[in-house]
Copies of this chain bind each other. A is one copy, B any other.
Amino acid sequence: MHHSQEFSSSSMRSVAPWLDGDANDRLSLGTTVSCIVERELDVHEHLFLEGERQTHVYLVLSGLIGIYKLLADGRRQISTFAYPGDMIGLDCTDTHVDSGEALSGSRVRCIPVNAIEKLIMNEPGFGQTLLRIAANELADTRERMLSLGRQSATEKLATFLVKVARRNAGIGLDRDTVHIPMKRCEIADFLGLTIETVSRNFTRLKLAGVIRLKSNSQVELVDFERLEAIAKGDMPAHLN
């Protein structure tokens, strides 16, 4: 039985602080209709597809959503994983530029885009909050580009693990005991690698004594400092 990570308003971390606590109230404050529904998603069920008109913004309540783009022949790049507490689609363009798929059973709250638009109009400071979120997302994305374009497989994986660990620490969990809710295949599509390379580098880090694999989805960071060093590229490849 795994730690379910249900999103709650009292969560220490929140990408969407302005939705904390009284989310429904504040949204119905902006719109007379309170057409905010929750939606349950099975594994591999899609929340939206690239090219579809964007009708909603989503708040992940539980589970994990993968945001990705495809090449014509099926090659996939996952741009981000949306965890409970994360918002999806705040960068409102009218059509979706990528697809969103549940990577495990998930629950999301669906907020119509016009509700967001009204909030921007009526709630002072709301627009700026959105801007700040977008800015953070952009900063994050650029770090990902550096990783995708310039890091080795081992460095990419180390970077990924460090990021998950930091997220853990941020929400009050143990930094060094990380639960990986996604499959190897999804990690591969996130890092721009193949599943085999991901797997090989897990064992590589394991043999180097940097991590320990309790199970496929449960990783213990034995030497966080060294993992960070590898992620930063400070560590020559052959010493890993």
Min CB distance A79 to B, Å, is: 5
Q: Are A141 and B143 neighbours in the complex by a CB distance under 8 Å?
A: no
List of B residues within 8 angstroms of A92 by Cβ = 131, 135
Min CB distance A16 to B, Å, is: 15
Q: Are A142 and B142 neighbours in the complex by a CB distance under 8 Å?
A: no
Q: A75 within 8 Å of B by Cβ? A: yes
Which secondary structure characterizes the binding site on chain A?
A: helix
Question: Which B residue sits closest to A97, measured CB to CB?
Answer: B139
Partner of A233 from the list B71, B97, B120, B138 (CB cut-off 8 Å) is B71
When each residue 175-192 of chain A gets 1 if its CB lies under 8 Å from chain B and 0 otherwise, what string results? 000000000000000011
Q: Are B138 and A91 neighbours in the complex by a CB distance under 8 Å?
A: yes
Q: Are A134 and B91 neighbours in the complex by a CB distance under 8 Å?
A: yes
Total copies of the chain: 2
Chain B binder among A104-112, A148-156, A210-218: A148-156
Q: A145 within 8 Å of B by Cβ? A: yes
Q: Are B192 and A142 neighbours in the complex by a CB distance under 8 Å?
A: no
Chain A contact residues, CB within 8 Å of chain B: 69, 71-73, 75-77, 79, 91-93, 97-98, 120, 127-128, 130-131, 134-139, 141-146, 148-151, 191-192, 232-234
Besides the known contacts A134-B135, A141-B141, 11 further A-B residue pairs in the complex with CB atoms under 8 A apart: A69-B143, A77-B146, A77-B150, A79-B146, A91-B139, A97-B139, A127-B127, A127-B131, A130-B131, A138-B141, A150-B192
